[in-house]
Amino acid sequence: MSTPILQPGVGDVTGEHYLPAAVENVFWGRLPCATDAPVLRIEPGATVTVDTVSHEGILEDQGKDPLAFFGAHGVAAEQVLDDAVAIAASLSRDVMADGPHVVTGPIHVAGAEPGDLLQITVVRLEPRVPYGVISNRHGKGALVGELPRGEHNVSVFTPVVEQDGALVGALPLVEGGPAAVTFPLAPFLGTMGVAVAGGDRPHSVPPGAHGGNIDIKLLTEGAVLYLPVQVAGALAYVGDPHFAQGDGEVALTALEASLRATLRFDVVPRQVALAEFGELLGPLVRTDEYLVPTGLDPDLGEAMRRCVRAALTLLQARYGMAEHLAYAYLSAATDFDISQVVDIVCGVHARIRESDFAGVPASHAASAGDLPPAGDSAPDSPAERDSPAHARPQATVTDAEGRA
Protein backbone atom coordinates (compact mmCIF):
# COMPACT_ATOMS: atom_id res chain seq x y z
CA MET A 1 0.00 0.00 0.00
CA SER A 2 1.52 3.30 -1.05
CA THR A 3 0.51 6.82 -0.07
CA PRO A 4 0.64 9.13 -3.10
CA ILE A 5 1.79 12.70 -2.62
CA LEU A 6 -1.29 14.82 -3.29
CA GLN A 7 0.27 18.03 -4.51
CA PRO A 8 -2.18 20.82 -5.45
CA GLY A 9 -4.29 19.68 -8.40
CA VAL A 10 -2.78 16.19 -8.43
CA GLY A 11 -4.93 13.07 -7.90
CA ASP A 12 -8.65 12.45 -7.89
CA VAL A 13 -11.02 15.32 -7.17
CA THR A 14 -14.38 13.74 -6.32
CA GLY A 15 -16.22 16.91 -5.29
CA GLU A 16 -18.17 19.13 -7.63
CA HIS A 17 -15.80 21.97 -6.79
CA TYR A 18 -12.09 21.94 -5.96
CA LEU A 19 -10.61 24.46 -3.52
CA PRO A 20 -6.81 24.30 -3.30
CA ALA A 21 -4.90 25.61 -0.29
CA ALA A 22 -3.31 28.36 -2.36
CA VAL A 23 -1.94 31.37 -0.49
CA GLU A 24 -4.96 33.48 -1.49
CA ASN A 25 -7.40 30.81 -0.22
CA VAL A 26 -6.12 30.38 3.34
CA PHE A 27 -5.95 32.09 6.72
CA TRP A 28 -3.01 31.47 9.04
CA GLY A 29 -3.53 31.97 12.76
CA ARG A 30 -6.94 33.64 12.51
CA LEU A 31 -10.41 32.55 11.39
CA PRO A 32 -12.80 34.27 8.96
CA CYS A 33 -15.34 36.84 10.11
CA ALA A 34 -18.37 38.49 8.49
CA THR A 35 -16.34 41.05 6.56
CA ASP A 36 -14.12 38.50 4.79
CA ALA A 37 -14.83 37.79 1.13
CA PRO A 38 -15.58 34.17 0.19
CA VAL A 39 -13.08 32.34 -2.00
CA LEU A 40 -15.84 30.03 -3.28
CA ARG A 41 -19.63 30.28 -3.64
CA ILE A 42 -21.79 27.15 -3.76
CA GLU A 43 -25.42 26.08 -3.63
CA PRO A 44 -26.68 23.97 -0.71
CA GLY A 45 -26.07 20.27 -1.30
CA ALA A 46 -22.89 20.81 -3.29
CA THR A 47 -19.71 18.88 -2.56
CA VAL A 48 -16.31 20.52 -2.36
CA THR A 49 -12.90 18.87 -2.38
CA VAL A 50 -10.70 21.02 -0.16
CA ASP A 51 -6.95 20.77 0.25
CA THR A 52 -5.82 21.42 3.83
CA VAL A 53 -2.30 22.07 5.07
CA SER A 54 -0.94 21.18 8.49
CA HIS A 55 0.79 23.94 10.42
CA GLU A 56 3.41 21.47 11.61
CA GLY A 57 6.56 21.92 9.57
CA ILE A 58 5.87 25.56 8.66
CA LEU A 59 5.97 27.14 12.12
CA GLU A 60 8.65 29.54 13.28
CA ASP A 61 10.06 27.22 15.95
CA GLN A 62 10.59 24.67 13.17
CA GLY A 63 12.40 27.16 10.93
CA LYS A 64 9.41 28.29 8.81
CA ASP A 65 10.91 26.21 5.99
CA PRO A 66 9.13 22.89 5.39
CA LEU A 67 11.69 21.77 2.80
CA ALA A 68 14.48 22.06 5.36
CA PHE A 69 12.44 20.76 8.31
CA PHE A 70 11.12 17.64 6.61
CA GLY A 71 14.34 17.18 4.63
CA ALA A 72 16.19 16.85 7.93
CA HIS A 73 13.96 13.84 8.63
CA GLY A 74 14.74 12.19 5.30
CA VAL A 75 11.76 13.44 3.31
CA ALA A 76 12.61 14.08 -0.34
CA ALA A 77 11.84 17.56 -1.68
CA GLU A 78 9.18 16.23 -4.07
CA GLN A 79 7.34 14.72 -1.07
CA VAL A 80 6.98 18.10 0.64
CA LEU A 81 3.74 19.85 -0.33
CA ASP A 82 4.14 22.82 -2.65
CA ASP A 83 1.30 24.72 -0.96
CA ALA A 84 2.94 24.30 2.46
CA VAL A 85 6.16 25.72 1.02
CA ALA A 86 4.28 28.66 -0.54
CA ILE A 87 2.37 29.46 2.66
CA ALA A 88 5.55 29.45 4.76
CA ALA A 89 7.36 31.65 2.23
CA SER A 90 4.54 34.10 1.47
CA LEU A 91 2.51 34.54 4.66
CA SER A 92 3.36 35.68 8.16
CA ARG A 93 1.53 35.77 11.46
CA ASP A 94 2.02 37.46 14.82
CA VAL A 95 3.52 34.63 16.84
CA MET A 96 2.46 36.22 20.14
CA ALA A 97 -1.07 37.18 19.09
CA ASP A 98 -2.18 34.61 16.49
CA GLY A 99 -2.77 30.87 16.52
CA PRO A 100 -0.78 28.30 14.54
CA HIS A 101 -3.52 26.80 12.36
CA VAL A 102 -3.97 27.11 8.60
CA VAL A 103 -7.59 27.02 7.37
CA THR A 104 -8.90 26.94 3.81
CA GLY A 105 -11.89 29.14 2.96
CA PRO A 106 -14.26 30.80 3.54
CA ILE A 107 -16.99 29.15 1.45
CA HIS A 108 -20.30 30.99 0.94
CA VAL A 109 -23.29 28.62 1.03
CA ALA A 110 -26.28 30.21 -0.69
CA GLY A 111 -29.35 30.67 1.48
CA ALA A 112 -27.69 30.13 4.85
CA GLU A 113 -28.89 32.74 7.32
CA PRO A 114 -28.31 33.38 11.04
CA GLY A 115 -30.51 31.01 13.03
CA ASP A 116 -30.12 28.18 10.52
CA LEU A 117 -27.66 25.33 10.92
CA LEU A 118 -24.89 24.58 8.48
CA GLN A 119 -24.66 20.83 8.00
CA ILE A 120 -21.19 19.66 6.92
CA THR A 121 -20.93 16.00 5.89
CA VAL A 122 -17.47 14.46 5.75
CA VAL A 123 -17.59 12.46 2.52
CA ARG A 124 -13.94 11.54 2.05
CA LEU A 125 -10.57 12.16 3.73
CA GLU A 126 -7.29 11.32 1.99
CA PRO A 127 -3.77 11.69 3.38
CA ARG A 128 -1.72 14.01 1.20
CA VAL A 129 1.63 12.77 2.55
CA PRO A 130 2.91 9.65 4.37
CA TYR A 131 4.16 11.45 7.47
CA GLY A 132 3.14 13.86 10.20
CA VAL A 133 4.31 15.58 13.38
CA ILE A 134 3.31 15.45 17.06
CA SER A 135 4.42 18.48 19.10
CA ASN A 136 4.75 19.59 22.72
CA ARG A 137 5.60 23.25 23.30
CA HIS A 138 6.49 25.21 26.42
CA GLY A 139 3.48 26.69 28.14
CA LYS A 140 1.15 24.34 26.25
CA GLY A 141 -0.37 20.92 26.80
CA ALA A 142 -1.79 19.18 29.85
CA LEU A 143 1.47 19.29 31.85
CA VAL A 144 2.46 22.93 31.58
CA GLY A 145 5.69 23.54 33.49
CA GLU A 146 6.56 19.83 33.52
CA LEU A 147 6.93 18.96 29.85
CA PRO A 148 8.78 19.46 27.61
CA ARG A 149 11.97 19.12 29.63
CA GLY A 150 14.83 21.36 28.61
CA GLU A 151 14.82 24.67 26.79
CA HIS A 152 13.43 23.67 23.43
CA ASN A 153 10.02 22.71 22.11
CA VAL A 154 9.66 19.10 21.02
CA SER A 155 8.34 18.11 17.59
CA VAL A 156 8.27 14.37 16.93
CA PHE A 157 8.42 13.47 13.24
CA THR A 158 6.13 10.47 12.71
CA PRO A 159 6.24 8.36 9.54
CA VAL A 160 3.19 6.52 8.26
CA VAL A 161 3.83 2.89 7.27
CA GLU A 162 1.82 -0.08 6.12
CA GLN A 163 0.97 -2.81 8.62
CA ASP A 164 -1.35 -5.73 7.84
CA GLY A 165 -2.82 -3.88 4.88
CA ALA A 166 -3.55 -0.66 6.78
CA LEU A 167 -1.68 2.59 7.32
CA VAL A 168 -0.39 3.22 10.85
CA GLY A 169 1.68 5.81 12.62
CA ALA A 170 5.05 4.57 13.87
CA LEU A 171 7.13 5.70 16.86
CA PRO A 172 10.32 4.41 18.50
CA LEU A 173 10.67 3.61 22.20
CA VAL A 174 13.76 5.83 22.46
CA GLU A 175 15.05 8.64 20.27
CA GLY A 176 16.76 7.20 17.21
CA GLY A 177 15.53 3.66 17.86
CA PRO A 178 13.49 1.41 15.56
CA ALA A 179 9.78 2.17 15.09
CA ALA A 180 8.48 -0.44 17.53
CA VAL A 181 5.21 1.29 18.50
CA THR A 182 2.41 1.58 15.95
CA PHE A 183 -1.09 3.01 16.18
CA PRO A 184 -4.02 3.14 13.73
CA LEU A 185 -4.87 6.20 11.68
CA ALA A 186 -8.34 7.74 11.88
CA PRO A 187 -8.12 10.98 9.89
CA PHE A 188 -10.33 13.97 10.68
CA LEU A 189 -10.32 17.74 10.47
CA GLY A 190 -9.62 19.36 13.82
CA THR A 191 -11.01 22.70 12.66
CA MET A 192 -14.40 23.05 10.96
CA GLY A 193 -16.26 26.29 11.42
CA VAL A 194 -18.39 29.20 10.28
CA ALA A 195 -17.55 32.91 10.31
CA VAL A 196 -18.41 35.00 13.34
CA ALA A 197 -20.43 38.21 13.14
CA GLY A 198 -18.58 41.52 13.12
CA GLY A 199 -15.20 42.53 11.78
CA ASP A 200 -12.82 40.84 14.24
CA ARG A 201 -11.21 37.60 13.14
CA PRO A 202 -11.13 35.02 15.98
CA HIS A 203 -7.88 33.47 17.20
CA SER A 204 -7.53 30.01 15.63
CA VAL A 205 -6.95 28.10 18.88
CA PRO A 206 -10.03 28.34 21.15
CA PRO A 207 -13.21 26.69 19.80
CA GLY A 208 -16.63 28.22 20.33
CA ALA A 209 -20.19 28.43 19.05
CA HIS A 210 -18.67 29.01 15.61
CA GLY A 211 -16.96 25.61 15.79
CA GLY A 212 -13.35 26.22 14.91
CA ASN A 213 -10.70 24.12 16.63
CA ILE A 214 -13.08 21.61 18.23
CA ASP A 215 -10.73 18.62 17.80
CA ILE A 216 -13.47 15.97 18.02
CA LYS A 217 -11.96 12.78 16.66
CA LEU A 218 -15.38 11.31 15.78
CA LEU A 219 -15.51 13.56 12.70
CA THR A 220 -14.13 10.86 10.44
CA GLU A 221 -15.57 9.86 7.05
CA GLY A 222 -19.37 9.68 7.13
CA ALA A 223 -19.79 11.93 10.17
CA VAL A 224 -21.82 15.14 10.12
CA LEU A 225 -21.18 18.43 11.92
CA TYR A 226 -23.96 20.94 12.61
CA LEU A 227 -22.99 24.55 13.36
CA PRO A 228 -25.22 27.55 14.18
CA VAL A 229 -24.93 29.99 11.27
CA GLN A 230 -23.84 33.46 12.41
CA VAL A 231 -23.58 35.40 9.13
CA ALA A 232 -25.31 35.26 5.75
CA GLY A 233 -23.81 32.50 3.62
CA ALA A 234 -22.22 30.86 6.70
CA LEU A 235 -18.68 31.46 5.32
CA ALA A 236 -17.41 27.98 6.20
CA TYR A 237 -13.76 26.95 6.49
CA VAL A 238 -11.79 23.83 7.42
CA GLY A 239 -8.24 22.99 8.43
CA ASP A 240 -6.01 21.66 11.22
CA PRO A 241 -5.92 18.19 9.61
CA HIS A 242 -5.13 15.18 11.80
CA PHE A 243 -4.16 11.60 10.95
CA ALA A 244 -4.93 10.38 14.50
CA GLN A 245 -5.73 11.75 17.95
CA GLY A 246 -6.43 10.46 21.42
CA ASP A 247 -9.24 12.14 23.37
CA GLY A 248 -7.60 14.84 25.47
CA GLU A 249 -4.78 15.55 22.95
CA VAL A 250 -2.63 15.94 26.06
CA ALA A 251 0.81 16.82 24.59
CA LEU A 252 -0.71 19.77 22.64
CA THR A 253 -1.05 18.33 19.15
CA ALA A 254 -2.20 15.03 17.75
CA LEU A 255 -0.59 13.40 14.71
CA GLU A 256 -0.86 16.53 12.57
CA ALA A 257 -0.66 15.96 8.82
CA SER A 258 -2.21 17.38 5.67
CA LEU A 259 -5.46 15.96 4.26
CA ARG A 260 -7.56 16.33 1.13
CA ALA A 261 -11.18 16.51 2.31
CA THR A 262 -14.36 16.14 0.28
CA LEU A 263 -17.28 17.70 2.13
CA ARG A 264 -20.96 18.30 1.43
CA PHE A 265 -22.56 21.52 2.66
CA ASP A 266 -26.31 21.67 3.43
CA VAL A 267 -28.48 24.26 5.16
CA VAL A 268 -30.96 23.21 7.87
CA PRO A 269 -33.68 25.87 8.27
CA ARG A 270 -34.19 27.12 11.81
CA GLN A 271 -37.62 25.55 12.37
CA VAL A 272 -36.40 22.13 11.22
CA ALA A 273 -33.30 22.49 13.38
CA LEU A 274 -35.36 23.34 16.46
CA ALA A 275 -37.63 20.33 15.95
CA GLU A 276 -34.71 17.96 15.41
CA PHE A 277 -32.24 19.16 18.01
CA GLY A 278 -33.65 22.02 20.09
CA GLU A 279 -31.73 25.28 20.42
CA LEU A 280 -28.11 24.58 19.53
CA LEU A 281 -25.65 26.89 21.26
CA GLY A 282 -22.60 25.18 19.80
CA PRO A 283 -21.37 22.34 17.60
CA LEU A 284 -23.28 19.06 17.31
CA VAL A 285 -21.81 15.94 15.70
CA ARG A 286 -23.74 13.00 14.28
CA THR A 287 -22.16 9.68 13.33
CA ASP A 288 -23.75 6.46 12.09
CA GLU A 289 -24.09 5.44 15.75
CA TYR A 290 -24.14 8.51 17.96
CA LEU A 291 -25.60 11.95 18.47
CA VAL A 292 -22.77 13.99 19.97
CA PRO A 293 -23.61 17.24 21.77
CA THR A 294 -20.71 19.35 23.02
CA GLY A 295 -19.72 21.63 25.87
CA LEU A 296 -16.99 24.28 25.62
CA ASP A 297 -15.47 26.43 28.37
CA PRO A 298 -12.01 27.39 29.68
CA ASP A 299 -12.88 25.47 32.85
CA LEU A 300 -13.13 21.73 32.19
CA GLY A 301 -15.79 21.28 34.87
CA GLU A 302 -17.98 23.97 33.31
CA ALA A 303 -17.40 22.44 29.86
CA MET A 304 -18.74 19.17 31.29
CA ARG A 305 -21.80 20.89 32.75
CA ARG A 306 -22.51 22.65 29.46
CA CYS A 307 -22.28 19.36 27.61
CA VAL A 308 -24.76 17.75 30.01
CA ARG A 309 -27.17 20.66 29.53
CA ALA A 310 -26.80 20.39 25.75
CA ALA A 311 -27.51 16.66 25.93
CA LEU A 312 -30.64 17.25 28.03
CA THR A 313 -31.90 19.87 25.57
CA LEU A 314 -31.29 17.49 22.68
CA LEU A 315 -33.15 14.57 24.28
CA GLN A 316 -36.10 16.75 25.26
CA ALA A 317 -36.42 18.34 21.81
CA ARG A 318 -35.76 15.28 19.67
CA TYR A 319 -37.53 12.58 21.66
CA GLY A 320 -39.85 14.45 24.03
CA MET A 321 -38.04 12.93 27.01
CA ALA A 322 -38.80 14.45 30.41
CA GLU A 323 -35.83 16.23 31.91
CA HIS A 324 -35.45 14.04 35.01
CA LEU A 325 -35.68 10.88 32.90
CA ALA A 326 -33.20 12.24 30.34
CA TYR A 327 -30.79 13.04 33.20
CA ALA A 328 -31.16 9.48 34.48
CA TYR A 329 -30.57 8.06 30.99
CA LEU A 330 -27.42 10.11 30.50
CA SER A 331 -26.06 8.92 33.82
CA ALA A 332 -26.72 5.27 33.05
CA ALA A 333 -26.02 4.99 29.34
CA THR A 334 -23.97 7.86 27.90
CA ASP A 335 -20.21 8.40 27.84
CA PHE A 336 -18.90 11.94 28.24
CA ASP A 337 -15.47 12.22 26.68
CA ILE A 338 -12.86 14.95 26.93
CA SER A 339 -12.29 16.20 23.39
CA GLN A 340 -9.19 18.19 24.32
CA VAL A 341 -7.73 20.17 27.23
CA VAL A 342 -5.03 22.10 25.32
CA ASP A 343 -6.85 24.77 23.29
CA ILE A 344 -7.49 27.48 25.93
CA VAL A 345 -11.18 26.49 25.82
CA CYS A 346 -11.63 22.87 26.92
CA GLY A 347 -14.03 20.55 25.11
CA VAL A 348 -16.31 17.74 26.31
CA HIS A 349 -18.54 15.70 24.02
CA ALA A 350 -21.23 13.11 24.81
CA ARG A 351 -21.96 9.95 22.82
CA ILE A 352 -25.72 9.26 22.80
CA ARG A 353 -26.59 6.02 20.98
CA GLU A 354 -29.42 6.65 18.55
CA SER A 355 -30.29 2.93 18.63
CA ASP A 356 -31.34 3.32 22.26
CA PHE A 357 -34.32 5.35 20.99
CA ALA A 358 -35.40 3.02 18.21
CA GLY A 359 -38.53 2.16 20.19
CA VAL A 360 -39.67 5.76 20.68
CA PRO A 361 -43.10 6.24 18.99
CA ALA A 362 -43.05 8.67 16.09
CA SER A 363 -45.53 10.90 17.90
CA HIS A 364 -42.93 11.51 20.64
CA ALA A 365 -39.92 12.05 18.37
CA ALA A 366 -38.83 14.60 15.82
CA SER A 367 -39.47 13.56 12.24
CA ALA A 368 -36.58 11.37 11.16
CA GLY A 369 -37.22 12.30 7.53
CA ASP A 370 -36.38 15.97 7.98
CA LEU A 371 -32.64 15.37 7.94
CA PRO A 372 -30.57 12.70 6.21
CA PRO A 373 -28.80 10.29 8.56
CA ALA A 374 -25.06 10.63 8.98
CA GLY A 375 -23.24 9.56 5.85
CA ASP A 376 -26.31 9.79 3.60
CA SER A 377 -25.49 11.93 0.60
CA ALA A 378 -28.96 12.11 -0.95
CA PRO A 379 -32.06 14.21 -0.15
CA ASP A 380 -34.87 12.22 1.43
CA SER A 381 -37.80 12.88 -0.86
CA PRO A 382 -38.46 13.58 -4.56
CA ALA A 383 -39.69 17.05 -3.60
CA GLU A 384 -36.39 17.78 -1.84
CA ARG A 385 -34.38 16.40 -4.77
CA ASP A 386 -36.24 18.68 -7.16
CA SER A 387 -35.93 21.80 -4.99
CA PRO A 388 -33.47 24.59 -5.86
CA ALA A 389 -31.68 24.00 -2.56
CA HIS A 390 -30.60 20.55 -3.80
CA ALA A 391 -29.66 21.55 -7.33
CA ARG A 392 -26.16 20.21 -8.00
CA PRO A 393 -23.85 22.46 -10.02
CA GLN A 394 -21.50 20.87 -12.52
CA ALA A 395 -18.10 19.86 -11.21
CA THR A 396 -15.66 22.71 -11.67
CA VAL A 397 -12.27 23.94 -10.58
CA THR A 398 -12.42 27.42 -9.10
CA ASP A 399 -9.94 30.19 -8.47
CA ALA A 400 -9.61 32.41 -5.41
CA GLU A 401 -12.69 34.42 -6.34
CA GLY A 402 -14.85 31.38 -6.99
CA ARG A 403 -14.67 31.86 -10.78
CA ALA A 404 -14.55 28.81 -13.03
pLDDT reported for residue 372: 56
Cα 81 to Cα 258: distance, rounded to the nearest angstrom: 9
At residue 395, does pLDDT exceed 50?
no
Least confident of 6-20, 92-106, 351-365, 387-401: 387-401
Least confident of 62-76, 209-223, 279-293, 390-404: 390-404
Give the model confidence (pLDDT) of 297-354 as tens digits.
Answer: 999 999 999 999 999 999 999 999 999 999 999 999 999 999 999 999 999 999 999 9
Give the model confidence (pLDDT) of 378-390 as tens digits.
Answer: 444 333 433 333 3
CB atoms within 10 A of CB 259: 25
At residue 139, does pLDDT exceed 70?
yes
Q: What are the distances in angstroms from CA 88 to CA 39, 55, 254, 259, 361?
A: 20, 9, 21, 17, 56
